Chain A
């Protein structure tokens, strides 16, 4: 009798374990897969009625100098507006195809959308750095304008955007290079792109306590030879200016929507205050959205993710209206 009872209890414990494992796995998968319903409208079902994609169009001599163009199906308009989105990947990885979702959404709104590759820093390209990448992006825009024109889409204005590393490059184009752009830059939107490079702000990497490591990393990123002795001096300011987006902000800078996570370990949150201060001091029209529970993925604040996209759409409608 007792044996039967033990056997029954054993079976039940096994059943509990199976149920736990199945529900745990299903719940984890749902958490990864599910998008909040308010964000689903930015996930466009791509059809020929929306547009077409021209991939791997060249803009320079380097193998990575390629861009994809997302062209609206309606090609009867006199002029179009360009929306550029630059991919993430820590300046060392990533591809323009990673941003297909947002590029398709921008195209569905009537913009000619472009995803641009740039030479990533890796073993094959040890000399690539944030500055050289920003120069490649700058050089790509005239080629995009020319190519779009050839395909029957005459461009007359642009917005630039990006995420993480792409956010930094987008800011550099909007704040540093806009004056030389073949198209007037109307606005910028970006998320989690490092805007400044001061060792004391880069504590998650230990750079606040290790001048040698700080000098080494920022030398690599800027492409300039930075010695620990110059940290904190004007010479250091000069050395990092070419890659420090916030330093280029002035009263004529373009309207900006930006988002950052308070607990970001990749783009240290302390580095963001310089950007926010520069936008405020120069009275630049902007929306700064701070995600109090999130890190680099802006992953724990869905309501603010929705707000970010709403603001992006609001700014696009205001500064880049599609006629």
Chain B
């Protein structure tokens, strides 16, 4: 049985991965085409 604390940690990890996944694509496209990492579309 997984503890409540570990469930919260898992949610945190998933949220960070979600944000970083989108930022990674944006960063890659910015590197190729130009653009800012923040601003404009949400993430």
- Interface residues in chain A, defined as those with a beta carbon under 8 Å from any beta carbon in chain B: 12, 15-16, 19-28, 30-32, 204, 261, 263-266, 291-297, 299-303
Contact = CB atoms under 8 A, between A and B. Distances in A.
Given A292-B40, A303-B40, 12 more contacts: A15-B10, A20-B16, A23-B17, A261-B33, A261-B34, A291-B40, A292-B39, A293-B39, A294-B34, A294-B40, A295-B29, A295-B30
A152 B8 CA distance: 66
Interface residues of B, number: 28
B21 A294 contact: no
Interface of B: 2, 6, 9-10, 13-14, 16-22, 24-26, 29-30, 32-36, 38-41, 43
Where chain A touches its partner, the secondary structure class is helix
A264 B13 contact: no
Contacts of A294: 33-35, 40
Nearest to B21: A27
Given A300-B36, A302-B40, A31 B21 contact: yes
B18 A23 contact: yes
Given A23-B21, A24-B21, A300 B41 contact: yes
A115 to B, nearest CB: 23
A270 B16 CA distance: 37
B29 A299 contact: yes
